[in-house]
Structure 1
């Protein structure tokens, strides 16, 4: 088991990628602290998973430093100490720069950037004190390739990629590895809900278009992101730090032939 003896805290664990990581990490022997805003829903989703006796489901608002400190203290009181931190919680808004509002920026940067900062700052000292560990951040293909009408989101994910490299450089001497995953379109409930909200009646066509966007011809599955996460959080990647790992079905490899209309 590749994550045996790892205690992994995952934020945003209710969602497609987050829940897939919880399931995959359990399969590999990890103890998992799964966190999200809706702890009751999180418990319901984690309960059927194999190895669920090794899951602790907790409510966590990544924008609240006091809540993060309280969770760390609660875990420590129970003898639970994190050595793998997965920053997966995310927010997104739709729009170009001229469409965006200050509130949009505050929402997206508050969760994606400040949230990562808060959780990492809260748990990193303890990880260092116990000999080191791993920080894994969920960025996006949008961190290296701007997405149409995702101004705030793309900017926030680019910030995550640089924050990851900074953590890697600053704490490598204290036993910390930091990497980020940059997926393209992942087929999650979020995507389906988003299409229903913004493109009612066009969901099927839009899903097909998203699949065609990736040259491999389909959307990424959450379990495929989780597989990369397992590698980056395991000792197999002991010499890997400061990296941005793209999962994109060939988007960044080069242009595809134009399709006839």
Structure 2
């Protein structure tokens, strides 16, 4: 089950965290994986991990917010079967503490970056007779999260784009779904704690972990397993859906 042999996949932001875990599991299941990553060193590490399990993958330096760069890379890769729109950046702030520059930066990467990749993916998916798109949204698109105005706005847009694309291309055998994680233990979380709470890293990690009713953060590999299922033929009846993977955050936090 869940074999991706002879499938070609693009994973944006595949150099670390959730993107890395998705790139690895897709390759493990037989896909030819192409990683679009701004950080070349991170991309090399993901490639090395994939090669260590006897699979091949390819890294492409690309800023997803730049349409010309995205266009060049997608045309170079050619026809694809899977797109994982994972690249994104975070921001902390309320609406009155979020400056225009920061707001534009979040929109450029988290919204326009997704648009750029969707825009260039559709022609390549058509060449393959269809395929699968997964957009990485967030529980911030579903419920109010304190101090996450710009990030929540962007992820709400990602969820809406998912539904629009699913509707528009259902007749072309292109499925589109989104995944909405709660907190996931990634290098970003470790860096955030080191920067903001250097004297209380363990305490804050525990506090953040317990905001999920299940009592811990997700592992990147758990999100990747869901992505694998949605990419597989076993999920061929699923499109236009958002999947919270949140340890009960959106339904059990009363």
Partner of 1:14: 15
The one of 194, 197, 202 equivalent to 1:196 is 194
Partner of 2:234: 236
Partner of 2:61: 59
User: Deviations 1:156-210 (Å, cap 9, x if unpaired)?
Assistant: 1011001000000011011110000000000001011011112221211111011
CA RMSD of aligned residues (A): 1.3
Question: How far has the Cα of 1:52 moved from its partner?
Answer: 5.6
User: Deviations 1:116-174 (Å, cap 9, x if unpaired)?
Assistant: 00011012112123311111000011110121101000111011001000000011011
**Separation (CA, whole Å) in 2 of partners of 1:254 and 1:75:** 43
Question: How far has the Cα of 1:40 moved from its partner?
Answer: 3.5
Preserved contact between residue 213 and residue 252 of structure 2 (Cα < 8 Å): no
TM-score by length of 2: 0.95
TM-score by length of 1: 0.93
Preserved contact between residue 35 and residue 57 of structure 1 (Cα < 8 Å): yes
**Separation (CA, whole Å) in 1 of partners of 2:128 and 2:253:** 47
**Separation (CA, whole Å) in 2 of partners of 1:193 and 1:186:** 13
SS across alignment from 1:156: helix
Q: Which runs of 5+ in 1 are unaligned?
A: 257-261
Partner of 1:5: 6
Partner of 2:166: 168
Preserved contact between residue 139 and residue 161 of structure 1 (Cα < 8 Å): yes
Preserved contact between residue 23 and residue 35 of structure 2 (Cα < 8 Å): yes
Partner of 2:98: 100
Partner of 2:134: 136
Aligned length: 252
Q: Does 1:156 align with 2:157?
A: no
The one of 197, 205, 208 equivalent to 2:206 is 208
Q: Which runs of 5+ in 2 are unaligned?
A: none
Q: Does 1:73 align with 2:75?
A: yes
Q: 1:173 to 1:183 in 2, by over 3 A?
A: same
